[in-house]
Structure 1
Amino acid sequence: MHAHVGYQQKITTSHVPWNHHLSHRQQPLTFLSQPTSPPLNLSTKWNNFKCLAAISKQTQRFFSAVLPTVATRDTSATNRLIKKFVASSPKSIALDALSHLLSPNSTHHPLLYFLALPLYLKISETSWFSWNPKLVAQVVVLLDKQGLDKELEALMSETVSRLEFKERELVLFYCNLVGCNSKHNWARGFDDSYSRLNQLVCDSNSVYVKKQGYKAMISGLCEMGRAREAEVLIGEMRERGMKPDIV
């Protein structure tokens, strides 16, 4: 999978099931649709980074250098800077940069969100990278919020296909997806991921899968302000002989 940025005319597609195309391998992802944000006012560029004291100076320099290339749609320069940053950065710095882009609390320039997927994919090519369900879930939520349906469906299909016969890993991925959507207060994504996790819990004979699923769904409902639905699930757990461990 090649981690390159490519700006193209955005195609809006309706959502299809995440396990669509599981019978065959997805084509390489089309990484970025054409940015819809207004052109960057470079005179205010530094104001966008004054709140980034928590990240490394190396990451700040990377964001400062790459932002104008995204704003001007200079894809070659953007790809080159991403590749250089990942190659020259320790694991902790590269992952911190990605985590900053994925955090629901980040306040950076909107165009930087378009770096999340190609940066994740370039990081995933490194020798030190280990697949992480929470990280993938965070990328999925960001793509959904950006309306990048094509990229979202490709990443979801690849992930579900990867975990198709690994039920414990699949439930952890869906649990993280429910949690990430609730932290972003993203109702559409939450309802969709909740429905799929609930179906997995109902179909599974594994006590581990059921406990992890219930825990994530109850926590997510509480985070979304849906306490009554959470209480119903707690009652359902008790009826099935499982003790809720939600505080």
Structure 2
Amino acid sequence: MSDLFSNHAIFSKVLIHRKLPVLKTYEFDFFRCVEVGDWVYGSTVSELHDGNLRFNNDKDRNRHSKLFPDEKISYWAESKATAVAEIKKHGSCKNYITFHAYDDASSTIPILDTEDMLVIIDGIKLGFNKILDKINRDERLTNEEENLVDLIRREEPDCLAYKSEANRNGTNFLFFERGFRKLSLKEVKLYMGEKPNKNSKTIVCAGTSDYTPYINNYGKYFLPITKVKVDETFKLTEKYKEYSINYKKNLSKLR
């Protein structure tokens, strides 16, 4: 376990900003849970993952939309326990889907076009939760706090780490689009906890400790009663082409 965050590999290289708690590093695991709805069924894993990035605007009326308007964002946590706690806090039932992601650059065989390390602002050290609390209470930010938010925007980080309110020992990560595009999936698990048998089904997209990708599995999808099928048309998509090209290119480097 790393001294930085519990979901960070201990031996990974870390570059630290001279003045701000800005880290440039790799080898992370991230978790996101979402309550199951009809939208889950029939959509490929690739499509489900793309749906984790949403446009942030004032209509959302949440604290992040006020701080970072007109940004595409995605919420993740350092562990499944924290991710589950977050959706329970918002009234989710026990039927949920769990996304387990990692930064693609840390894989032995990356499948994305970018090989850049993650740029993370440690909002915990900045006291960012105090700003979120004030936004929740509709309190005006001080000039110093507004300057801090502006500074975060100017740094253009991949994500911002802050304390979880649902799990006091947990950490949340607010991903901006540039950071989200650096994430690949290890697995996606459908869990029907409200059902008597508590059925579950997992689609694995990367295996082994080196996160070797199984790009064909991004074309799999869930059906009701926790079944899995393959959408063969996924191999015709631009996403599959990108994964395949980068997979072959990076695989050749190992030979």
User: With structure 2 as the length reference, what TM-score do the two structures score?
Assistant: 0.24
Output the TM-score relative to the length of structure 1. Answer: 0.24
- Normalized per residue, the structure richer in strand is 2
- Structure with the bigger RCO (C-alpha within 8 Å, sep 6+) is 2
Instruction: Write 1 or 2 for the structure with the bigger share of helix.
Output: 1
